[in-house]
């Protein structure tokens, strides 16, 4: 079954991806089609310990976000970051670690149209898909808006779509993935989301400063089933210290997994276990920096709904009738210095 | 002193005059730890003692076979085989002290040394990854008190400010803390023996192949229920306090004295291969990260916070520059160009020495010394009042600079040079050894070689010999154990997924 020459599948895939690239770069106003996932599949694991060939800023102050959020670039061109790029009018404050094909990003974008969000993914092909997808979504929204603003257009238009009030016309209900990519206007035009290739286990602090983030999402992380591989898990007490560094007090860290054992791992690494009566107080650790968010609060949080039902992985779990385990933690304030 | 001898890998000057005792110099060479009287240079002890109690270092050819094995560079053994342990137990050396009986070839070098309270020496022996605490008595005798095997080889070893706990950083990026003197018997936290159960279920894996392997795991689990695999855990009291997902390269513990707004505060600074310098709070709040110092574009290998100015950090690594920081603010105060091209220069060590006043200047000189990997030059800077450093001189030594320690009371520095390899080479060997120590002192504002009876005596006695001729492979192992910073550089690897 293995062929000597590059398999036809790969040739087709490369050709497809070249076309997508060319389409994105063209500015002739042709309709940009949504990329198809099947041409961007990549094995679900990447070694977080190897160097890859990652690009990352020397420090958060060197990060040039302007190409990622063109709609949020500060009009004052004299304001530049340390690498000379244009500054934004606001800071990125939501991160999806291991964003995959970007279901969460796309689902959250209309929910928080004024909040800048970034998905971080270590796998090249998957990231390429998401970047194309965001690009296609933005241009589609633009086209829909133009059409609405131009009644002379030959195409019939949706009467409800008013040109000046894009924020109020679309249903406030969060986007359902099935509708995304259809002829519907969404608040924010997906200008507030982007995707970056990175290994957050090593380089998260290169992108975000102290207390910069309000939300971190870790959805369906690689479970690394073998005990030997547990060091590669994205949740650990030492990594939680880094999440605490970039997360502002009061900020939330969302986790969801379909692996029950991993869920317990998450709880174990964020919370002190039950202490035996009269036992020694637990040793100080990054667990002191987080507290679990109650179920009632989660029920009212639309982000949890998106995380549970809109991401690609969550849909797969639903299809396979698997379980979903959600745990959300709030960043507490740093402890007082010892006297 | 004929033939080839091991150079000194680490040097520590132990100031004990406040305790009413004479000062001691601690040094490691090859697989041995030495203690010297700091005024006369008399060798006070060697640890571990030669297996043959009578055999002297020089008479390696006359010594029996097993003794010469202990002098030479033994085969690299990563694991202590159980058989060699049994052999050791089977024929105990009756004359030597119990603590000094050690499997003779479980390590070949001692790359990390620190001293606590002036009376404990903490070392890491390399191949067996073992942290050993030895007592250093009034006469400078060394006796092993404890040996604790770490999960990974350490790259840094230091102490908490109270000197009661050891801090260690390893190649896996983890920082451990454990008591200098283990308190009593360590009782492992009782974890009920849980039968192995695959974490995956048919709810989480779906492909045919994954389901097959899950089935296999289930069968395995059913079989092994009676005999659960024992978890590998450290058998001593310890705590993991900091973790980098990178190779940890250096670790220092800093106390910032109280100022007008805040009290005295302890910090831990860690550096890694991925260009990071991290500032965490001291124990017990090491999980709170206070700052990252960004500015290096290659790995960081050395951190130095001068004792005379704890607000300043001087860092170096694979870049051909040093950075001088206000480390609590992530503020670069100065970028100091180093000799050599980008991608070639590697900082081996940065040391701060407060050189005692001489006749013509009243204040001690705040000296900073920088050694580059595989270089026989020693760069000499002074820290100015505006917290920048000024290059004063470049000292030329007779061999590559390996280690340095200041002798504050004499206003001089002691430098260990490579006795084996040609100057400015990490691989070309000399035909005969040269003295392993050089010393410099201030004279009329400049650092110049000085005569020191201690150094003369240590040099005349030398260290342990290396049997010649040496096979290429053994030479390479010795080179790699002495010069390994180059491996930290990232290669432009075309492979990528």
Helix (H) / strand (E) containing B223: helix B208-224
CB–CB contact A238 B243 (8 Å): yes
What local confidence, expressed as pLDDT, does residue B476 receive?
87
User: Across the strands, what pairs with A120?
Assistant: A97, A196
- Note the pLDDT of residue B141: 93
- A156 has a pLDDT exceeding 60: no
List, in order, residues 6 or more apart from A279 with CB less than 8 Å away.
Answer: none
Top mean-pLDDT range of A143-152, B116-125, B227-236: B116-125
Q: Is B156 in contact with B250 (CB distance < 8 Å)?
A: yes
- Does B48 sit behind a cis peptide bond, omega within 30 degrees of 0 on the bond before it? yes
- List of E strands, B15-107: 24-29, 32-37, 43-47
Mean of all residue pLDDT scores within chain A:
83
- Tell me B187's DSSP state: P
Q: Is A309's pLDDT higher than 80? A: yes
> Does the beta-carbon distance from A284 to B203 stay under 8 Å?
no
Question: Which of the residue ranges A50-54, A308-312, B112-116 has the most confident prediction, judged by mean pLDDT?
Answer: B112-116
Q: Which residues of A touch B216 (CB under 8 A)?
A: none
Cα separation, B378 vs B394, whole angstroms: 6
Residue-level pLDDT at A165: 38
What CA–CA distance (Å, rounded) separates A78 from B384? 35
Name residues whose C-beta falls within 8 Å of residue A38's C-beta, 6 or more positions apart in sequence: none
Which residue of chain B comes nearest to A247, CA vs CA?
Answer: B289
Is pLDDT at A267 greater than 90 in this prediction?
A: yes
Mean pLDDT of chain B: 83
- What distance in Å separates residue A30's CA from the closest CA in chain B? 33
Are A239 and B243 in contact (CB < 8 Å)? yes
Give the chain B residue nearest A47 (alpha carbons). B497
- Residue B359 to residues B109, B448, B450, B451: CA-CA distances in angstroms? 41, 15, 16, 18
Q: How far from B347 is each of B269, B300, B367, B476, CA to CA, in Å? A: 17, 9, 17, 21
pLDDT at A14: 81
Chain position carrying tokens 């291991």: A98
Across B302-313, b (16+ Cβ under 10 Å) vs e yields bbbbbeeeebbb
Confidence of residue B190 (pLDDT cuts 50, 70, 90): low
Whether residue B383 contacts residue B312, with contact meaning beta carbons closer than 8 Å, is answered with yes
Query: Is A321's Cβ below 8 Å from some Cβ in B?
Result: yes
The whole-angstrom distance between B431's CA and the closest CA on chain A is 40
Please indicate if any CB of chain B lies within 8 Å of the CB of A238: yes
Q: What is the ipTM of this complex?
A: 0.84
Q: Which residue of B has its CA nearest to A45?
A: B497
CB of A286 within 8 Å of any CB in chain B? Answer: yes
Q: Which residues of A touch B285 (CB under 8 A)?
A: 284, 335, 337-338
Residue A248 has pLDDT above 50, yes or no: yes
Of the listed ranges A179-183, B11-15, B32-36, the one predicted with least confidence: A179-183
Q: Note whether A261 contacts B199, CB cutoff 8 Å.
A: yes
What is the rounded average pLDDT of the residues A154-158? 46
Query: Hey, is the C-beta of A333 within 8 angstroms of any chain B C-beta?
Result: no
Give the pLDDT of residue B250. 96
| CB pair distance less than 8 Å for A238 and B172 | no
Which of A25-29, B250-254, B429-433 ranks highest by mean pLDDT? B250-254
Interface contact B199-A241, CB threshold 8 A: no
Which pLDDT does position A113 carry in this prediction?
Answer: 93
pLDDT score, position B360: 58
Interface test with B, best of A63, A201, A202 (most B CBs within 10 A): A202
Question: Taking an 8 Å Cβ-Cβ cutoff, which residues of chain B contact chain A?
Answer: 172-174, 198-201, 203-204, 206, 239-240, 242-246, 262-263, 265, 274-276, 280-281, 284-285, 287-289, 291-292, 294-295, 297, 330, 490-493, 496-497
Contact B287 A288 (CB under 8 A): yes
Per-residue pLDDT tens over the stretch A21-61:
777 776 655 666 778 777 777 777 788 888 878 889 999 99
pLDDT band (50, 70, 90) for residue A179: low
Q: Give the residue extent of every domain in chain A.
A: 32-43+64-92+122-191, 199-273+285-339
Instruction: Tell me the pLDDT tens digit for each residue of B209-236.
Output: 888 888 887 777 776 654 444 445 678 8
Query: Per-residue pLDDT for B126 more than 60?
Result: yes
Mean pLDDT of B201-206: 76
Among A36-45, B342-351, B473-482, whose mean pLDDT is lowest?
A36-45
Q: How near does any CA of chain B get to the CA of A43, in Å?
A: 9
B112 has a pLDDT exceeding 50: yes
Q: Does domain B4-64+100-186+237-488 have CATH number 2.130.10.10?
A: yes
Chain A, 44-63: which have a CB under 8 Å from a chain B CB?
Answer: 46-49, 51-53, 58-62
B201 contacts in A (CB within 8 Å)? 259-260
Between A236, A239, A283, which is nearest B239 by CB?
A283
> What's the rounded Cα separation, in Å, for the pair A92 and A72?
10
Q: Is residue A109 predicted with pLDDT exceeding 60? A: yes
**B245:A239 CB<8 A:** yes
Looking at the structure, give the CATH architecture of the domain made up of residues A199-273+285-339: 3-Layer(aba) Sandwich (3.40)
Give the distance from residue A261's alpha carbon to the nearest chain B alpha carbon, in angstroms.
6
Nearest chain B residue (CA) to A51: B490
| pLDDT score recorded for residue B494 | 52
Cα-flanking dihedrals φ and ψ of residue A24, to 5°?
-65, -40
Percent of chain A with pLDDT over 90: 47
Q: Which of A222, A207, A248, A263 is nearest to A54 (CA)?
A: A207
Torsion angle defined by CA atoms of residues A60, A65, A71 and A76, in that order, rounded to the nearest 10 degrees: 70
SS3 B378: strand
Is-contact B301 B279, C-beta < 8 A?
no
Which is catalytic among the residues A222, A288, A301, A334? Answer: A222
Identify the CA nearest to A88 among candidates A127, A128, A118, A133: A118
Distance in angstroms (rounded) separating the CA atoms of residues B272 and B251: 9
What is the rounded average pLDDT of the residues A119-142?
A: 90
Least confident of A260-269, A292-301, B462-471: B462-471
pLDDT bracket for residue B315 (50, 70, 90): very high
Q: Is the pLDDT of residue B6 over 50?
A: yes
In this complex, do B199 and A259 lie within 8 Å of one another by their Cβ atoms? yes
Q: Which of B160, B287, B331 to mutate to test the interface with A (most CBs of A within 10 A)?
A: B287
**Rounded to an integer, what distance in angstroms lies between the CA atom of residue B214 and that of residue A225?**
11
- Look up residue B381 and give its two tokens: 């800077």
Residue A157 pLDDT > 60, yes or no? no
Q: What residues of chain B lie within 8 A of the CB of A242, using their CB?
A: 289
Asked if B289's CB is within 8 angstroms of A241's CB, the reply is yes
Q: Please tell me the predicted confidence (pLDDT) of residue B82.
A: 42
Residue A202 with chain B: CB contacts under 8 Å:
245-246, 274
pLDDT confidence of A254, banded at 50, 70, 90? Answer: very high
B276 to A323: CB separation less than 8 angstroms, yes or no: no
CA distance B327 to chain A (A): 14
CB contact under 8 A, B203 and A321: yes
pLDDT for position A230: 85
| pLDDT tens for each residue of B234-243 | 788 889 999 9
Which of A48, A49, A51, A281 has the highest number of chain B CBs within 10 A, making it the mutation to test binding with B?
A51
Half-sphere exposure of B3 (CA within 13 A, CB side): 17
- Average pLDDT estimate for B359-363: 63
Contact B284 A338 (CB under 8 A): yes
Beta strands (DSSP E) in A258-331 are 290-292, 325-331
Angle of helix A237-246 relative to helix A260-270, nearest 10 degrees, comes to: 70
Does A285 lie at the interface with B, CB-CB under 8 angstroms? yes
**The pLDDT value given to residue A180:** 55
Q: How far apart are the C-alpha atoms of A57 and B297, rounded to whole Å?
A: 10
Lowest mean pLDDT among A11-15, B109-113, B437-441: A11-15
**C-alpha dihedral sign at B106, B109, B115, B120:** positive
A339–B contact, CB cutoff 8 A: yes
A11 CB contacts (<8 Å, ≥6 apart)? Answer: none
Interface of A with B in 264-283 (CB under 8 A): 283
- Residue A249 has a pLDDT of 96
d(CA A126, nearest CA chain B) in Å: 11
Between residues B497 and A91, the one the model is more confident about = A91
Q: How far is B245 from chain A (nearest CA, A)?
A: 6
| Region of poorest pLDDT, from A140-144, A255-259, A286-290 | A140-144
Residues of B with Cβ-Cβ distance to A339 under 8 angstroms: 263
- Is residue A222 part of the annotated active site? The answer reads yes
Q: Answer whether A225 sits within 8 Å of B200, measured CB to CB.
A: yes
**pLDDT at res. A171:** 39
- How far is residue B350's CA from residue B305's CA, in Å, rounded to a whole number? 9
Range of lowest pLDDT (A118-122, A241-245, B405-409): B405-409
Residue ranges covered by each domain of chain B? 4-64+100-186+237-488
User: What pLDDT sits at residue B106?
Assistant: 82
At B356 the pLDDT is: 78
Q: What is the mean pLDDT of residues B374-395?
A: 94
pLDDT, tens only, B30-88: 889 999 998 889 999 998 887 654 444 444 444 344 434 444 444 444 444 444 444 44
């Amino acid at each position: 079954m293995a062929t000597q020459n590059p398999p036809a599948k790969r040739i087709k895939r490369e050709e497809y991806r070249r076309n997508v690239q060319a389409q994105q770069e063209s500015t002739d106003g042709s309709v940009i089609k949504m990329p198809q996932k099947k041409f961007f599949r990549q094995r679900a694991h990447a070694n977080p310990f190897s160097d890859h060939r990652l690009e990352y800023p020397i420090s958060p102050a060197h990060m040039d976000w302007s190409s990622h959020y063109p709609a949020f670039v500060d009009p004052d061109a004299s304001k530049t970051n340390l690498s000379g790029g244009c500054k934004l009018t606001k800071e990125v404050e939501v991160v999806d670690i291991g964003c995959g094909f970007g279901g969460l990003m796309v689902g959250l974008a209309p929910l928080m149209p004024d909040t800048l969000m970034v998905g971080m993914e270590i796998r090249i092909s998957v990231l390429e898909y998401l970047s194309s997808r965001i690009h296609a979504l933005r241009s589609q929204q633009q086209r829909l808006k133009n059409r609405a603003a131009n009644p002379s257009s030959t195409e019939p238009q949706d009467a409800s779509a008013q040109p000046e009030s894009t924020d109020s016309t679309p249903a406030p209900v969060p986007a359902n993935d099935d509708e995304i990519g259809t002829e519907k206007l969404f608040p924010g035009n997906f200008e507030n989301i982007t995707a970056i290739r990175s290994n957050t286990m090593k380089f998260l602090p290169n992108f975000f400063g102290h207390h910069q983030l309000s939300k971190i999402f870790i959805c369906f992380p690689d479970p690394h089933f073998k005990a030997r591989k547990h060091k590669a898990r994205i949740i650990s007490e030492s990594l939680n210290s880094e999440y605490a560094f970039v997360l502002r007090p009061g900020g939330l860290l969302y986790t969801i997994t379909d692996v029950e054992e991993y869920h317990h791992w998450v709880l174990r690494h964020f919370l002190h276990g039950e202490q035996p009566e009269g036992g020694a107080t637990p040793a100080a650790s990054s667990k002191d920096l987080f507290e679990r968010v109650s179920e009632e609060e989660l029920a009212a949080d639309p982000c949890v709904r998106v995380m549970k039902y809109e991401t690609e992985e969550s849909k797969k779990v639903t299809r396979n009738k698997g379980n979903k385990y959600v745990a959300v933690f709030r960043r507490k304030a740093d402890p007082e210095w010892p006297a | 002193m004929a033939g080839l001898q091991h150079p000194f890998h680490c040097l520590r000057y132990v100031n004990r005059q406040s305790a009413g005792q004479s000062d001691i110099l601690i040094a490691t060479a090859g697989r041995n730890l030495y203690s010297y009287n700091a005024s006369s240079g008399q060798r006070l002890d060697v640890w571990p003692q030669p297996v043959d109690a009578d055999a002297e270092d020089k008479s390696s050819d006359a010594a029996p076979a097993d003794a010469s094995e202990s002098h030479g560079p033994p085969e690299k053994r990563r694991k202590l085989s159980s058989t060699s342990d049994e052999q050791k137990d089977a024929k105990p050396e009756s004359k030597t002290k119990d603590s000094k009986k050690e499997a003779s070839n479980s390590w070949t070098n001692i790359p990390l040394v620190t001293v606590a309270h002036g009376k404990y020496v903490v070392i890491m022996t390399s191949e067996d990854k073992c942290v050993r605490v030895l007592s250093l008595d009034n006469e400078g005798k060394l006796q092993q008190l404890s040996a604790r095997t770490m999960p990974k080889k350490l790259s840094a070893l230091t102490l908490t400010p109270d000197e009661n706990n050891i801090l260690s950083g390893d190649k896996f990026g983890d920082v451990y803390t454990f008591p200098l003197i283990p308190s009593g018997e360590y009782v492992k936290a009782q974890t009920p023996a849980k039968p192995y159960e695959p974490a995956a279920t048919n709810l989480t894996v779906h492909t045919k192949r994954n389901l097959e392997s899950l089935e296999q795991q289930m069968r395995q689990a059913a079989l092994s229920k009676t005999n659960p695999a024992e978890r590998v855990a450290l058998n001593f009291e310890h705590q993991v306090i900091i973790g980098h997902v990178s190779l940890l390269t250096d670790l220092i513990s800093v106390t910032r004295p109280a100022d007008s707004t805040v009290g005295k505060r302890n910090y831990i600074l860690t550096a890694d291969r991925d260009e990071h310098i991290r500032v965490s709070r001291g124990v017990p709040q090491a999980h709170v990260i206070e700052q990252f110092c960004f500015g290096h574009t290659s790995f960081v290998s050395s951190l130095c916070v001068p004792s005379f100015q704890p607000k300043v950090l001087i860092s170096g690594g694979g870049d051909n520059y040093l950075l001088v920081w206000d480390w609590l603010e992530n503020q670069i105060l100065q970028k100091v160009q180093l000799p050599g091209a980008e991608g070639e220069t590697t900082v081996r060590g940065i040391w701060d020495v407060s050189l005692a006043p001489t006749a013509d200047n009243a204040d001690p000189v705040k000296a900073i010394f920088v050694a580059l990997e595989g270089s026989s030059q020693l760069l000499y800077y002074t820290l100015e009042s505006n917290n920048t450093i000024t290059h004063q001189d470049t000292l030329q030594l007779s061999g590559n600079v390996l280690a340095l320690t200041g002798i504050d009371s004499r206003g001089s520095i002691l430098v260990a040079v490579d006795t084996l390899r040609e100057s400015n080479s990490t691989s070309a060997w000399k035909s005969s050894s040269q003295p392993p120590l050089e010393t410099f002192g201030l004279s009329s504002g400049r650092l110049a070689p000085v005569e020191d009876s201690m150094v003369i005596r240590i040099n005349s006695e030398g260290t342990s010999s290396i049997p010649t001729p040496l096979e290429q492979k053994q030479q390479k192992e010795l080179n790699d154990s002495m010069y390994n910073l180059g491996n930290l550089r990232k290669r432009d690897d075309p492979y990528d997924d």
